[in-house]
Amino acid sequence: MVRRGDISSSIWPEHNDFPHAQFLEVAWGDRDFYQAERGTVWLALKAAFVSPESVLHVVGFSAPIEQYFPSSDVVEVTTSARGFDELSRFIHESYARNGEGQTVRLGQGQYGTSSFYLATGNYHLLNTCNNWIAKALRAAGLPITPLYSMTTGNVLRQVSRFGRVLRESSL
């Protein structure tokens, strides 16, 4: 999650799709699995081995993070201004573009004020949402190893070494 007010419009202009939000949560994954009403074993296997497209899921919200995500581990990380700009650039470059260079909004997201967007990159067993998060943090200059980020637990263990744990349920 990032504080929307810290984002430069010249680097990540798509954040303006959520003008009333104080924070943005951004996630990446297989399109069919992520947008399914209900995940199935078939969709999970398809995502792991033959994912045709990926999506970004962007959520805008203004409640305190710990309140908006009451059951989630929360680790706060700090970057330099340049690191934050690089993180923003990484996210901006993850949006797929149509022939006119515009993002491709695919519809309402899973919860709250959110949207799905067509994304770049190929989701598969060795390139998951956790690897994407690690690559984003690495782009920000943070000491995380995407190769060792296959699971949420792996990401959280690495991030907790340089971040401040605000809420811990599985670390």
DSSP state string for 6-44: G--TTT-GGGGG-TT-SEEEEEEEEHHHHHSSS--HHHH
Task: Give pLDDT, residue 94.
Answer: 98
Which token pair is 13?
Answer: 């202009």
Q: Are 128 and 105 in contact (CB under 8 A)?
A: no
Q: What one-character DSSP code corresponds to residue 145?
A: -
Tell me how many degrees the CA angle 60-77-28 measures, rounded to the nearest 5: 45
In order along its 171 residues, the chain shows pLDDT tens digits of 999 999 999 999 999 999 999 999 999 999 999 999 998 999 999 999 999 999 999 999 999 988 898 889 999 999 999 999 999 999 999 999 999 999 999 999 999 999 999 999 999 999 999 999 999 999 999 999 998 999 999 999 999 999 999 888 765
Task: Give pLDDT, residue 170.
Answer: 61
Residues 6 or more apart in contact with residue 128 via CB below 8 angstroms: 29, 150
Task: Give pLDDT, residue 153.
Answer: 93
Which of 13, 19, 9, 45 minimizes the C-alpha distance to 30? 45
Task: Give pLDDT, residue 169.
Answer: 77
The neighbouring-strand residues paired with 118 are 55
